[in-house]
């Protein structure tokens, strides 16, 4: 491996100093009254705080995040349309728990069903969407589990679209963090629905049960849940000063408690940490030599923006080292991994990302390849 010079541009990460007696103040995570919790930075993907992140828990209506994910995906793939009208089945109409009060005699649009699911947490809406997408709720639950595995939710299994209790229906706060992040990243147009404070259907107005929407202007979603077994659960997201953090808190004692505990986590992440943008997507961070190609230099970088999360005042101390595999010989495909970036703070690795070719390099002509072969042989 050939090691290049440090590529982290100081201006990109320089932040005001925040220190105590020349050492960073490491604030303790606030005490959270719940069975488990998880706090993740949306942009860097780094975990800021967690307790029992992989403990198996009953998600209750947080299940509807996956029901929503598959619904949004079906709409994006044009397997379902927002103005498409559906009719609730007997099973959907008689499903217990929270409801949007569908009328089996009155068709309802997919758009209204999404609002009924995301705002009113309607189990009748979830079953109706599940049956429209997969033919049955049972088949839809299999789709949910398969999609969870694809997203990296390795400790999750679904048995229904609603979150009603089932001993084989489980997840973790870690996995719910993955799911919430995926919804915000992949379906921002549908994520906006989670910020609605109320929704009226069939003459009945129901408020969003996420109390933080009424108390904190920075909170713009996502979902609450409750069963006797699960307790009061919440996934919440807050955005401030260009940052976004996502919290998952489960097993609290009341609707008030889940709001208070979630607020503690969100504010902790936003108050004491920063998430500087280190590199922009598709912008070269360096060039490396290429042999036997129709070009002699290859621009390298990243296909997505690179962020990292650190304590406030510590970003200026970040150091980056980029290593590439040498020699690099054409042909090279755009997006091909050619090295790695390691970012460290005080000698401790905080981030590692693959570095890729930002453009393709085809094979050169016969004479170019021959000359480069000679140079490689002689070590020039």
SS3 60: helix
Which is catalytic among the residues 61, 89, 237, 247? Answer: 61
- Quickly count helices (H) and strands (E) in the chain: 11, 19
Q: Would you state the pLDDT for residue 330?
A: 83
d(CA 115, CA 124): 12
CA 281 from chain centre, in angstroms, equals 18
Q: Would you state the pLDDT for residue 74?
A: 98
Nearest to 178 by CA among 60, 45, 68, 270: 45
Which is catalytic among the residues 35, 44, 64, 263? Answer: 64
Six-digit token string for 154? 């390795």
Q: Is the pLDDT of residue 380 over 80?
A: no
Which class for 364: exposed (0-12), middle (13-18), buried (19 or more C-beta within 10 A)? buried
Name which residue leads in pLDDT, 7 or 219.
219
Q: Is the pLDDT of residue 4 over 60?
A: no
Helix-, strand-, coil-residue percentages of the chain, each rounded to 5: 30, 30, 40
Mean pLDDT of 327-346: 91
DSSP 63-97: GHHHHHHHHHHHHHTTSS-TT-EE---HHHHH--S
Name the H helices within the chain. 10-13, 64-76, 90-94, 110-118, 123-134, 137-151, 173-186, 188-191, 212-215, 255-272, 366-378
Contact 309, 274 (CB under 8 A): yes
Contact 69, 77 (CB under 8 A): no
Q: Could you tell me the pTM of the whole model?
A: 0.89
Quick: pLDDT tens for 158-185.
999 999 999 999 999 999 999 999 999 9
CA 18 from chain centre, in angstroms, equals 28
Q: How confident is the model at residue 293 (pLDDT cuts 50, 70, 90)?
A: confident
Asked about 264 being catalytic, the answer comes back as no
Q: Is the pLDDT of residue 15 over 50?
A: no
Quick: pLDDT tens for 186-241.
999 999 999 999 999 999 999 999 999 999 999 999 999 999 989 999 999 999 99
Quick: pLDDT tens for 120-172.
999 999 999 999 999 999 999 999 999 999 999 999 999 999 999 999 999 99
Query: Among 18-27, 167-176, 267-276, 303-312, which stretch is predicted with the lowest mean pLDDT?
Result: 18-27
Q: Is the pLDDT of residue 6 over 60?
A: no
Mean pLDDT estimate for the chain: 91
Asked about 64 being catalytic, the answer comes back as yes
Q: Would you state the pLDDT for residue 269?
A: 97
Which is catalytic among the residues 44, 98, 121, 247? Answer: 121
Mean pLDDT of 89-116: 97
d(CA 238, CA 65): 17
Quick: pLDDT tens for 65-84.
999 999 999 999 999 999 99
Beta-carbon contacts of residue 158 (< 8 Å; ≥ 6 apart): 63, 66, 141, 144, 145, 148, 169
Asked about 121 being catalytic, the answer comes back as yes
């Amino acid at each position: 491996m050939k090691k290049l010079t440090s590529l982290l541009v100081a201006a990109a990460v320089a932040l005001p100093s925040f220190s105590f007696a020349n050492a960073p103040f490491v604030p303790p995570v606030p005490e959270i009254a719940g069975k488990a919790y998880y706090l993740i930075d949306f942009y860097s993907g780094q975990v800021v705080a967690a307790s029992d992140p992989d403990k198996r828990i009953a998600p209750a209506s947080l299940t509807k995040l996956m029901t929503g994910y598959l619904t949004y995906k079906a709409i994006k793939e044009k397997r379902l349309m927002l103005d498409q009208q559906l009719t609730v089945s007997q099973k959907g109409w008689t499903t217990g728990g929270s409801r949007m009060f569908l009328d089996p005699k009155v068709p309802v649009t997919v758009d209204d069903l999404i609002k009924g699911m995301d705002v009113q947490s309607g189990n009748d809406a979830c079953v109706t969407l599940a049956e429209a997408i997969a033919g049955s709720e049972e088949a839809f639950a299999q789709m949910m589990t398969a999609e969870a595995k694809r997203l990296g939710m390795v400790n999750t299994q679904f048995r229904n679209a609603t979150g009603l209790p089932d001993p084989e229906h489980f997840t973790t706060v870690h996995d719910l963090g993955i799911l919430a992040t995926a919804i915000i990243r992949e379906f921002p147009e549908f994520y906006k629905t989670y910020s609605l404070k109320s929704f009226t259907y069939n003459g009945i107005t129901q408020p969003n049960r996420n109390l933080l929407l009424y108390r904190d202007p920075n909170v713009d979603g996502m979902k609450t849940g409750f069963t006797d077994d699960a307790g009061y659960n919440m996934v919440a997201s807050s955005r401030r000063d260009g940052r976004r953090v996502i919290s998952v808190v489960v097993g609290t004692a009341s609707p008030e408690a889940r709001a208070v505990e979630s607020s503690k986590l969100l504010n902790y992440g936003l108050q004491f940490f920063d998430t500087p943008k280190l590199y922009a997507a598709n912008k070269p961070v360096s060039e490396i030599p290429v042999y036997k190609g129709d070009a002699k230099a290859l621009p390298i970088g990243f296909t997505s923006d690179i962020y990292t999360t650190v304590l406030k005042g510590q970003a200026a101390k970040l150091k980056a080292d980029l290593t590439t595999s040498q020699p690099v010989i054409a042909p090279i495909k755009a997006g091909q991994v050619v090295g790695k970036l390691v970012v460290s703070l005080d000698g401790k690795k905080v981030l590692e990302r693959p570095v890729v070719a930002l453009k393709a390099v085809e094979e050169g002509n016969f004479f170019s390849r021959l000359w480069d072969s000679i140079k490689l042989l002689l070590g020039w």
